[in-house]
Structure 1
C-alpha cells in the first residue's frame, strides 16, 4: 500500500489527535453555559490547579463538586472567596473536573463553604461525606414543600446540610443524628421519608392514603344534605368541622412547621384561609376549601410520581443477582458482591447483570435499555456488553470489567438524576418571581382584611376577600409548570438512549436551528471500506492478488481490502518475497511473477502504462478516494478505491432533522475538498467546511453563530472539544462506549449513530412549547382569580379549585412528554 495515500487518509484523525493534545481554544468568550465540561486541559484564562492537596499537616480534607463555572476565572474567584474563611488551610478547585478540595483545621470550618459558594452564584454538592445520607420523600407536590423541609431540618441539632429536590423526590442530608430522628422530623413536617441504602431501594414505600379525602368528602356531602332537610345548622357545622379536621390535619401540621421554619408555603396559606372561614362562620366554605386542597394534593402527588418513576424504572433494568462461575460450579450472588474479573454466566433471555467483556459464546444483544436501538446487536468474544441489556440467544460467559456502582446504567441514572436537579434558566426566573409574588400578595391580603373595614365597617366581607387573596397568593401551578415538564422530557430521553444533562440544555436544544457535524466517526463509520473495484480482466484474480499482497498488513486500508475479499470468498495465493516500498506501495512474488499494489507514482517508475484506467483513476481522485492500482511491470489487473463510508442511519437522520425545521446542516472535516464534497452530497448536508484544523472548526462554528444561527455541534466528545465548547450546544455520540463522552457533552447520544438526534430535537421543542403553555395558563388563571375577588365574583372554594385545579392540569399537560414517541 502506498504510504503517501495512507497518510492522507489518516490526515483528519491526526488533526483530531493534535487537537486533543494541544487544545488552546479560548474559553472566556464562549457562550456555552457548561464550557468547563468540554475542556480537558489548562485554559488560557488562568493556570489550572493540581488535582490534589499536598500538605505536610493537612488537618481534615473535604471534597465537593462545583457546577456552573463557565471560565477558569470563575474557579479563581471561588478560591479567593473561600480563602477568606476562618481556619481554612488550602483550597484547590479544578476547573476541568469541577472538583473542589478543601483542607481545614477542624470539621466545623467546612460549614460555611457551601453557603459561600452558593452566594457567588454557583451550585455545589459535597462528595463522599460519611455522614451524608439520601432519603426518598413522599408527599411533596411543589417546590415550596421542599423549602419547608429544608428550613425545618436546618433547625435540628446535628444537621450540617440539607438539600431537597422536588423533581426527584430526594433529600440529601448531612447529619450526625440517628436516621430515625431525621425520618421522624420529616414526618412532623407532614411528609414520609425513607432512607435509601442502595440504588435499588428507590421505590415508593407506600401508596397514597385516600381514606381521609374520601371520609371528609362524605361528611361534607352529609352536612350539605342535612341542611336541605331542615336539620339544625349546628349538626351540619359539626360535620363540616370534623371534615376539616380529617382532611386538614396534615396540611395544618405542615403549616405549623412551615411557619416555624419561616416558609410561606401553600399549607400555611390554605390553613389560614380555612381557619378564617371558620371564624366568620363559613363552615361549608372552610370544609370545602380544605377538602379540595387535600384532593388536589393527592392527585398532584400521584401524577408527579409518574415522572419520578421514569427514572426509578431505569434502576430495575439490571438484575439484582448474577450467576458467577467458580471452577465448574455456578454460584448466585448479589451484584454488589461480584468482584472485578469474576466470570458471569448469562443464559438466553436473561438480562446482563454487570458491564463486562465476552470471553466465551456469541449472541444477539438487545441494547435498547442503554442506547435506544431497536435492532439487537451481534456480539462475540472480545466485545463489550452492558448491564441491563438482554441476551437474546446463546449462552455467554462474561468477565466483569465494572462494579455495580460504575456500570454504564448506573452512570446514566446518576447523570439523569443530576440533570433533573439542575434548574433551567426559565425555572430559576419563575422561582425568583414566586418568592417575591407570594409575600407581596400575603401582605396585600392582610391590608385588605384590616384597612377597608375601618372606613366602611364591612369586616366579614373584607375579611372574606382577604382569605381569597391568601389562597390566590400561592403560585403553585406556575412554580410546578417547568420542573415537571423538564423531568418528564429528560426521563423520556433517557428511556430512548439520550442523556440530556439538565433543563438548561433542554431549552437550548429546543432553540437550535443549525447543527454542525464532525465527519469522521459521526456522519461516516470512521473506518475505510472498499467503495469501487475496476478489473481489466477478472475481478476474482484482481482480488486474489491484492488480498495476498495486503494479507500481512495491519493498516486499516489493507484490512478493509482483505475483509472485502473475504466476504466474497476469495482465497489467498502463495506469495513470497514480500516487501514494502516506502511512500509508494507493496510488492510480492506470486507464482514466479512480481506483483505490485500502490499509487500512480509507483507504476510510473515501473514504466507500466495505465491509460485504460486513466478515466477511473481521475474520477476517484476527484471524489477524494484512496486509490490502489494492482498489476505487474508489464500489465495492470485493475484499480481499487477505498473511502470512509456513510453510516446507514446518517441520511435518514439528517432528513428527519430537516423535517424538524433545522435550517442548516453543516459538515466539518479535515479532509480535502474532493472528499468533503462527495461525503456532503451522499449524506445530504447543505454546507461543508473542508481542510479544517481543530482551531478552524471553532471558527466554522463562530461563523454560523455570526450568521445568526443557534448552533449545535455533534462530535465524539473528546477530539472535538473546542468546537463542542464554542457551540451553543455540545452533543456527543457513542456515549455507551465512552465514559469521557458521557461526562463532557451537554447531550449524549448513547448509540453510536445519529438515529436518536431528531427525536431529541423534537422532544426539546415539544418541552419548550408545553412549558410556555403551562406558564401562560398559570398566569392567566391567577390573573382572572385576582380580578374576580374584588367584584365579589370569586368564592373561597372556587379560588382553591382554580389553584389546585390549575396545578393538576399543568402536571397532566407536562406528563404528555413522557408518552411522546419517535
Structure 2
C-alpha cells in the first residue's frame, strides 16, 4: 500500500495512552486508518500525516514519532528526569508540606488546602488535560474516571485525599512505564545488534557507508571484533562467527569461503570479505525483528477476552459509582457527602489498569524472551496454544535427524582393513554426485586419506544399483547388495548386511568380480539431543509421534532410538496432513515440527507449526508459526515451559486483578476503604500484574 507509513514511538507510557493516541491519529482529516502496536511501540498510518501532526496527537503523553527506517534517535531520558516523574516529585513535596501543616493548623486551614491544591494541580496536570478532553468527547477510560474522582474529592472538601490519589496514580503510571520499557528491551537489544555502518570495498579503496546504502553484490570488509552489516556470502577469509543474534546459540560457528553469514552476527577472529546478497531491510535479522514486533501486537485469546470485557466494564463502574453516590441519600436520607465520597472511591478502585495490561505485558515479555533464546513465536495466539499442547508430531529428515547422510559403520572382509575399504571406495565415489557418495568421500577426508593415491578410470553409474570403475587396472563395483545378487555371498557378510538394514541404515557393498571385501553403512544420523528432548516432553505429559515418508525399517529404528510414542512411516504429504487432522481430533491441541517447506500442509493443519529455521531460514520464517532459529530441538522444552508459564501468569493476572477489584468494591460500601486506600489498592494490583509478568524474563531453557 503506497500511502502506508510506519513510525517508531518513544515516550509511549501505557496501554490506555496507546488507545487514546490511536484515536487522536485517526481523527486527523488526512488519515484513513491508524494502528498502534503498544508492545513494539510502533504506529502504522494509512493516509498522510506530518510528524508534527502525529506528535501533536501524542502530546498528552509526550510521544516522539520517528520514521521506522530513519537512523535519528531521541536520546533516552533518565527515569528521574522524565517530565511526568519530575511533576510527581514536586507534587509529593507539596503533599508532604500540606500534611505537616495539617497537624499544626488542621486540614481545613486555607494554607493547608492551598498546599494540597497545588499538589493536585501540578501532579495531575497531564491527567486532567487528557481526562477532561475525554469527558468532553464522552470517552470513559481510566484517566476520565480518575479525573472525575479527584475533582469530586476537591469539591466535597477532601483535598488531602485528592492530593494523595494524584501522587499515587503518578507513581503507578511511572512504574507501569518503567516495566513496559523493560519488557520491550528484549527486542530492542536484538535491534541494537545490527551495525549502523559498513566498510565497503570500492576497487582498491575501502569506504565507510551507512548500511542503508549497501547494494546487492557489494563486497564488505569485516574486521575481527566487528559485527557483520548485511546478509551475504564469504568470498575471502575464514573466521569464527558468533550467531547468537540470529539463533540464540552462543557457540561460534566457523565460516570460510562460500559460507553464508547474517547481519548482526559477530566476527570473532579473522578478517572476512562478504558479498552482500540482501539489502538491509530484507536481512534475516530485520525479518526477525519485524516478525517479533508483529507478534507482540497480535492479541492472544485471553487478551481478546479482556478487551471485550473492558468495553462493558468501565461503563458498569460508572453506573455503580452513580448508584452508590445517589441512591442511599435519595431513598434512605443518608448523608450526601459521605455517599458521594464512597461513589468516588468506586471510580478510583474501578480503574481498569490492572485488567487492561494483565495480558499484553505478559505476551510482550514472553515473545521477547523467546526471541533472545533463538525461538521466534509469531503471535500471542500461538504462545497460548503452545502452553496447551497435548501432542507433537515430528518429521524425521532434518528434524529428528541432521538431514545429511553420514558413514556410521565400516566392515572389512577377505583380509582387507577398514581403512583400505574406505580409501578404495572413496576414490571411486568421488566421481559421483549421489548424496551417499558424498558421505563416503567426506568420511575419507576426515581420516585424511589421499584420494589421488589411486588411478581411477572408466567410471560408470549403474542406474538403481551403484557404480563401477577401474582402479589401478582392476575393475571394482560398489552399490546396494542387489548389485552382487548374482554372486554367492558368505553368511558372515549377509548377517552383517541384514543387521545394518534392520537398524534402518543404507548399505553400500564393495568388491570385484570374485569377492566382496567391504560393507559400509550410511544413515542420516539422529540429532544427539533428540532422545533427551522427547523424554522431557513425555515428562510434561506431551505425546510424541514421528510422521515420515521414509521406509518403515528406517523410521522404526530412529523412532525407537528417539523414544517416540508412535511411528508412522511411508507417508505422502497428503497422508501427513490427514494424520495431523485425525490426531488433532484425538488430542485437542497438536503441534507439527518440520523443515518449513516439505511439510507445509501438515504445518498449516497443526494448531502450531514449528519449523527448523537454520537451513532455509526465509522459507521457515514465512511458513511456520514458531521457528527454532538454531535448529536446536533443546529449545522445544524451553518454549513449552515458557508458554505454560505465560498462560499461568495471564490467568493469575486476570484472576487477581478482578478479585481485588471486587473485594475493594465490597469494602467501599460499608466505608472500610478510603479514597487513598482505593487508589493504593488499584496501584498495588497494577504493580503486582506487571512484576508477575516480568518473571517470564527469568524462564530458562530446560537443558
Matched, 1:617 2:497: yes
What pairs with 1:287-306 in structure 2 (closer than 5 Å)? 287-306=163-182
What pairs with 1:39-78 in structure 2 (closer than 5 Å)? none
Match of 1:217 in 2: 92
Secondary structure at the counterpart of residue 316 of structure 1: helix
Which segment drifts farther, 307-316 or 481-490? 307-316
Matched, 1:579 2:460: yes
Do the aligned partners of residues 155 and 415 (structure 1) sit closer, same or farther apart at CA in structure 2, a change above 3 Å counting? same
CA distance in 1, matches of 2:191, 2:679: 37
Matched, 1:351 2:205: no
CA distance in 1, matches of 2:239, 2:341: 71
TM-score by length of 2: 0.95
Matched, 1:711 2:590: yes
Matched, 1:157 2:29: yes
* Contiguous gaps of at least 5 residues in structure 1: 1-126
Q: Is the 8 A contact 1:666 1:688 kept in 2?
A: yes
What pairs with 1:359-370 in structure 2 (closer than 5 Å)? 359-370=235-246
Among residues 628, 641, 644, which one is paired with 2:508 in the alignment? Answer: 628
Match of 1:541 in 2: 420
Match of 1:191 in 2: 62
Do the aligned partners of residues 133 and 555 (structure 1) sit closer, same or farther apart at CA in structure 2, a change above 3 Å counting? closer
Matched, 1:141 2:14: yes
Secondary structure at the counterpart of residue 627 of structure 1: strand
TM-score by length of 1: 0.82
Question: Paired residues, what number?
Answer: 691
Do the aligned partners of residues 194 and 581 (structure 1) sit closer, same or farther apart at CA in structure 2, a change above 3 Å counting? closer
Secondary structure at the counterpart of residue 595 of structure 1: strand
- Write out per-residue CA displacement over residues 118-153 of structure 1, whole angstroms, 9 at most, x where no aligned residue: xxxxxxxxx3425x34241524322x3222222233
Match of 1:568 in 2: 447
CA distance in 1, matches of 2:114, 2:127: 20
CA distance in 2, matches of 1:156, 1:225: 48
Match of 1:670 in 2: 549
Do the aligned partners of residues 451 and 604 (structure 1) sit closer, same or farther apart at CA in structure 2, a change above 3 Å counting? closer
Which segment drifts farther, 591-600 or 810-819? 591-600
Secondary structure at the counterpart of residue 751 of structure 1: coil
Instruction: Measure how far apart 1:237 and its partner are.
Output: 0.7
Do the aligned partners of residues 574 and 608 (structure 1) sit closer, same or farther apart at CA in structure 2, a change above 3 Å counting? farther
Which segment drifts farther, 704-713 or 170-179? 170-179
- Write out per-residue CA displacement over residues 720-750 of structure 1, whole angstroms, 9 at most, x where no aligned residue: 1111122111111125742121011111111
Q: Is the 8 A contact 1:408 1:736 kept in 2?
A: no
* Contiguous gaps of at least 5 residues in structure 2: none
Q: Is the 8 A contact 1:530 1:564 kept in 2?
A: yes
Secondary structure at the counterpart of residue 3 of structure 2: coil
CA distance in 2, matches of 1:600, 1:716: 32
Which segment drifts farther, 399-408 or 578-587? 578-587
Q: Is the 8 A contact 1:370 1:736 kept in 2?
A: no
Secondary structure at the counterpart of residue 40 of structure 2: coil
Matched, 1:763 2:642: yes
Instruction: Measure how far apart 1:386 and its partner are.
Output: 0.3
Q: Is the 8 A contact 1:202 1:312 kept in 2?
A: no
Among residues 252, 258, 269, which one is paired with 2:134 in the alignment? Answer: 258
- Write out per-residue CA displacement over residues 583-614 of structure 1, whole angstroms, 9 at most, x where no aligned residue: 32222222332211122332232x35333301
Do the aligned partners of residues 662 and 733 (structure 1) sit closer, same or farther apart at CA in structure 2, a change above 3 Å counting? farther
Instruction: Measure how far apart 1:705 and its partner are.
Output: 2.3
Matched, 1:795 2:668: no
CA distance in 2, matches of 1:566, 1:774: 58
Matched, 1:129 2:3: yes
CA distance in 1, matches of 2:6, 2:502: 63
Do the aligned partners of residues 691 and 475 (structure 1) sit closer, same or farther apart at CA in structure 2, a change above 3 Å counting? same
Matched, 1:403 2:403: no
Do the aligned partners of residues 246 and 696 (structure 1) sit closer, same or farther apart at CA in structure 2, a change above 3 Å counting? same
CA distance in 2, matches of 1:194, 1:174: 15
CA distance in 2, matches of 1:148, 1:475: 15
Matched, 1:599 2:480: yes
- Write out per-residue CA displacement over residues 390-436 of structure 1, whole angstroms, 9 at most, x where no aligned residue: 11111100001111111111101100111111111110111111110
Matched, 1:700 2:576: no
Among residues 515, 527, 536, which one is paired with 2:392 in the alignment? Answer: 515
Do the aligned partners of residues 673 and 752 (structure 1) sit closer, same or farther apart at CA in structure 2, a change above 3 Å counting? same
What pairs with 1:53-132 in structure 2 (closer than 5 Å)? 127-129=1-3, 132=5
- Write out per-residue CA displacement over residues 451-494 of structure 1, whole angstroms, 9 at most, x where no aligned residue: 32123141101111111111123221011110000000000011
CA distance in 1, matches of 2:237, 2:61: 54
What pairs with 1:164-183 in structure 2 (closer than 5 Å)? 164-183=36-55
Match of 1:474 in 2: 351
Secondary structure at the counterpart of residue 812 of structure 1: helix
Secondary structure at the counterpart of residue 794 of structure 1: coil
Which segment drifts farther, 552-561 or 591-600? 591-600
CA distance in 1, matches of 2:611, 2:347: 48
CA distance in 2, matches of 1:528, 1:159: 57
CA distance in 2, matches of 1:266, 1:418: 26
